[in-house]
Amino acid sequence: MSYLEILTGAFVLVLILLVMMLVKNRKLKTEISVLKEVLAVKDTTILNFEASRVAVKDVIENLSAHEEVMALVEAGESRTEISEKMGIPVNKIELIIKFDKIKKEKHL
């Protein structure tokens, strides 16, 4: 065997290895993009669960004020007025009202 045949064989072997590595690299890129999408969905789900947990916690904390808030709403007072009277933030007043609507829909 001559040096030229050995070099040609080595070159072909390196070329085959290079092509195999490029194919594997493409597959890995595809897998990485799929994993990034899964990770984004997981993060969104966790954020939604945390937001739900906080909302439920707020409703539970303000459940004692539920009847009084709903009585004031039915009396025609605005959320801002109720907030000022009871010392509860407007967003919590809105949560109590939403909770009441869900509760009424569930009983229908």
Rounded Cα gap, residues 73 and 100, in angstroms: 11
Residue 91 lies in domain: 33-107
Contact indicator for 70, 96 with CB cutoff of 8 Å: yes
What pLDDT, on a 0 to 100 scale, did the predictor assign at position 70? 87
Secondary-structure breakdown of the chain: helix, strand, coil percentages, each rounded to the nearest 5? 90, 0, 10
What pLDDT, on a 0 to 100 scale, did the predictor assign at position 94? 86
What pLDDT, on a 0 to 100 scale, did the predictor assign at position 38? 96
Task: Give domain status of residue 12, yes or no.
Answer: no
Q: How many domains does the chain have?
A: 1
Task: Give domain status of residue 90, yes or no.
Answer: yes
What pLDDT, on a 0 to 100 scale, did the predictor assign at position 33? 96
Task: Give domain status of residue 5, yes or no.
Answer: no
Cα dihedral angle (94, 98, 103, 104), rounded to 10 degrees? Answer: 100
SS3 of residue 62 by DSSP: coil
Residues of the chain scoring pLDDT < 70: 58-59, 61-63, 108
Task: Give domain status of residue 51, yes or no.
Answer: yes
What pLDDT, on a 0 to 100 scale, did the predictor assign at position 8? 93
Task: Give domain status of residue 1, yes or no.
Answer: no
